[in-house]
């Protein structure tokens, strides 16, 4: 399994000279399975360069698109994903309930409000909605994908991939708490993340910021690390970077999280997601 980050930023794209290392595009991750199938998670602005790459390297594009949820920063790139304009393209969509409706709403609200020059129904690609994950696992050859509900406004899904004895967990836009009365606790996500080879988790805010944004549906690096340690995760990747966070600031977060892990004597790899980076499982 190979995981590549095409978009790592949260909330809104943040291009510029201060975000060239960790990236400015919003959420989009490509997963190349050992069987040769391609899975894309979310269609933030990072899906545009991914589309260019797929068009340049493949005769036809045949992918699964899994949507964590349909907030704007996770769908805004879909109209600019060039493969959707090719009749040879096949896209199997699954993920959060009603995600196909959310993708369509980018083009037209359904009541005559146009948000894009092309209507969703006029796209030339074969886009079909599987709608399997809300009822159980999704199988793609020898890969099994399961879900966990997110603690985020309007909800959503996190994903776990199991293939050839390796496990990859992706949970963004998820607010981890230590108090049961405030929502889902860290412990509630431990079984889903148990012994994962790689966990990608939301860490948009700093520990000292989190109270200001309580209820927004995001986490800080300390709670993401606590989840990873309690679940026995081998490799933690901090994700969904705050849009105003510069490369220098994000590098400091990465350093602080590593130091926190070291203080606890933890045997875990910690890094902040960088746009363009690839992880191998």
| CB 24, CB 15: distance < 8 Å | yes
Task: Give the span between the Cα atoms of 67 and 29, in whole angstroms.
Answer: 11
- The reported pLDDT for the residue numbered 182 is 63
Task: Give the span between the Cα atoms of 92 and 95, in whole angstroms.
Answer: 10
- Mean pLDDT per 10-residue segment, the chain (281 residues): 99 98 99 98 99 98 98 96 98 95 82 76 96 96 98 96 98 90 83 99 97 94 98 99 99 99 98 99 96
- For the domain spanning 2-280, the CATH number is 3.60.15.10
- The reported pLDDT for the residue numbered 52 is 98
- The reported pLDDT for the residue numbered 66 is 99
Task: Give the span between the Cα atoms of 106 and 47, in whole angstroms.
Answer: 15
- The reported pLDDT for the residue numbered 178 is 83
């Amino acid at each position: 399994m190979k995981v590549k980050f095409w978009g790592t930023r949260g909330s809104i794209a943040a291009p510029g000279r201060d975000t060239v290392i960790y990236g400015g595009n919003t959420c989009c991750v490509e997963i190349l399975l050992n069987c040769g199938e391609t899975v894309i998670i979310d269609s933030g602005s990072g899906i545009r360069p991914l589309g260019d790459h797929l068009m340049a390297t493949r005769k036809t594009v045949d992918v699964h698109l899994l949507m964590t949820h349909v907030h704007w920063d996770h769908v805004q790139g879909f109209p600019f994903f060039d493969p959707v304009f090719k009749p040879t393209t096949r896209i199997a969509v699954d993920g959060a309930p009603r995600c196909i409706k959310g993708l369509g709403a980018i083009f037209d609200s359904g009541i005559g409000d146009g948000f894009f020059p092309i209507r969703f129904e006029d796209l030339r690609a074969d886009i079909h909605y599987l709608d399997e994950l809300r009822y159980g696992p999704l199988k793609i050859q020898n890969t099994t994908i399961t879900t966990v509900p997110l603690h985020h406004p309007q909800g959503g899904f996190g994903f776990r991939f199991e293939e050839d004895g390796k496990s990859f967990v992706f949970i963004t836009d998820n607010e981890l708490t230590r108090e049961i009365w405030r929502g889902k606790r860290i412990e509630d996500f431990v079984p889903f993340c148990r012994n994962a080879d790689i966990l990608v988790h939301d860490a948009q805010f700093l520990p000292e910021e989190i109270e200001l944004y309580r209820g927004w549906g995001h986490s800080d690096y300390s709670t993401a690390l606590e989840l990873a340690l309690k679940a026995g995760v081998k490799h933690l990747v901090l994700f969904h970077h705050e849009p105003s966070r510069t490369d220098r600031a994000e590098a400091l977060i990465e350093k602080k999280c590593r130091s926190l892990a070291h203080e606890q004597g933890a045997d875990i790899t910690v890094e902040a997601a960088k746009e363009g980076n690839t992880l191998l499982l």
